[in-house]
Amino acid sequence: MRRVLVMVGSDLRQQVLDRSVFIFGLAVPLALMWVFSLVFAPLTQDLEPVSVAVSGPADDPLTQTLRETLGGLDGAVDVTVVEAEPADVPGLLDDGEVGAAVAVPAGFSGALADGAAPSVRVRLSDSVGLEGDVVTAVVDGVLRQFTATARTAAAAEELGAGPGQVEAALSSDDATGPSVRWTAGAADDEQLSAREGIVAGQAGFFLLFTVGFGVLGLVVEREWGTLARLLSMPIPAWWVPLSKGLSSWVLGVLATGVLLLAGAVLFDDVHLGSPGVIAVLLMAVVAAATSIMFVIARVARTAEQAGVAQTIVAITLGMSGGSFFRVGSEGVLGQVLQLNPVTALGRGLGITSGGGGVTDLLPVLAAMGLMCVAMTALAVLVPGRRDVL
């Protein structure tokens, strides 16, 4: 075993002296994390406060209900309701004093009760963003509820119900629906925030390049003629790929660990959880990624072929694993994607960021163990260069 460790140390020393691992394993991923964080993270920031002008009859009960509903959205978006005259609305929008305006016609409640389908107009200013869409959606939902209630009342009256019975029917949950409360969500269910997703995605993507420095060195050794000399040494032949695999695994764990640590330190709102639990996750994910490299080393005839195959595999697994955008995990394909090391890293970090422990990671660890066994068996069984495995 000591000689295996000497071979691993020699491989690691070569990779450190080559310095490529620092460029492709650390510098480039950190640069992309920074760029993606600047471009994409602002798109997920909290909604800005917005003022909404509501013009309509002050004595209309449904208009007042609409005002109270918009004013009670503090948990989702901070809305300030401004009572305005219809003639003042265009000026308020043009001056930017309000982001949205809701115009309720006179006699709105009576017209709705009579089934006259009154029209409510919503206008948005040019400067309002997603907050305007939220206001529009809320107004649309409230109006739908008003319509449903009016139809319930009309149906009750048509069936001969008295005023008291109609009022009782409208006050029940069957007519008005259950009350809805806004509750702030938390990224605690295998979900990462935008910046955490960027850090995890880029770390997983470049992991597939980092683990290639050791294993794919077998192809280079073959081209240089040193692999035959290694295999002729008085050691078991399987020690050679074992040492390459261990050096890849060490490089992958160290480089990915540094990337995650740098992401947590350099970027705001990145909290990935317990370092000890993350270390267990990293060891399993890197082992699975390393096993994929053995398949490439087995079938590639030259270093160029190995490099192209590694790039194709990395891009495919990176994109399907959510390195650049989030990918759904439903259905059979979603279950298959759980074997992707990039997917597993993101899913595992979602668990650790929510406070999960090693026990909670067991499904992810089992998937990586299955992937590792499957890829190792494939590397042994697939036709190719038998001097690798």
CA distance 376 to 25: 24
Q: How far is CA 105 from CA 51, 62, 102, 108, 111, in A?
A: 20, 11, 10, 6, 9
pLDDT at 338: 84
169, 160 contact by CB (below 8 A): no
Q: What's the mean per-residue pLDDT of the chain?
A: 80
Q: In what order do the strands lie in the sheet with 100-103?
A: 79-83, 50-55, 100-103, 121-124
What's the Rg (C-alpha) of the chain?
Answer: 31
pLDDT at 41: 64
Burial status of residue 113 (CB atoms within 10 A of its CB: 0-12, 13-18, 19 or more): middle
Q: How far is CA 180 from CA 139, 141, 144, 183, in A?
A: 14, 12, 15, 10
CA distance 251 to 293: 13
247, 214 contact by CB (below 8 A): yes
Cα 362–Cα 204–Cα 341 angle in degrees, nearest 5: 40
CA distance 308 to 328: 28
pLDDT at 278: 93
125, 100 contact by CB (below 8 A): yes
Q: What is the pLDDT along the chain (389 residues), one digit of tens a residue?
A: 777 788 888 878 887 787 777 887 788 888 888 887 777 766 555 667 788 888 888 788 888 888 888 877 766 677 888 888 888 878 888 887 888 888 888 888 888 777 777 888 888 877 777 777 888 888 888 888 888 877 777 777 777 766 666 666 656 555 455 455 555 444 445 667 778 888 888 888 888 888 888 777 788 877 787 877 777 777 788 888 888 888 889 988 998 999 899 888 888 778 888 899 999 999 999 999 999 988 888 888 888 888 888 889 889 988 888 877 777 666 777 778 888 899 899 888 988 888 888 888 999 999 999 999 999 888 888 776 665 56
pLDDT at 125: 78
Q: Where are the alpha helices (DSSP H) in the chain?
A: 2-18, 20-22, 28-40, 61-71, 89-94, 108-113, 130-158, 163-171, 173-176, 194-210, 212-215, 217-224, 226-231, 239-266, 275-299, 303-320, 331-337, 341-353, 362-381
pLDDT at 46: 62
Q: How far is CA 354 from CA 186, 196, 272, 295, in A?
A: 9, 12, 8, 35
Q: What is the pTM of this model?
A: 0.65
pLDDT at 385: 63
pLDDT tens, residue by residue, 152-192: 777 777 777 666 666 666 565 554 554 555 554 444 456 67
Eight-class DSSP state of 243: H
CA distance 389 to 374: 15
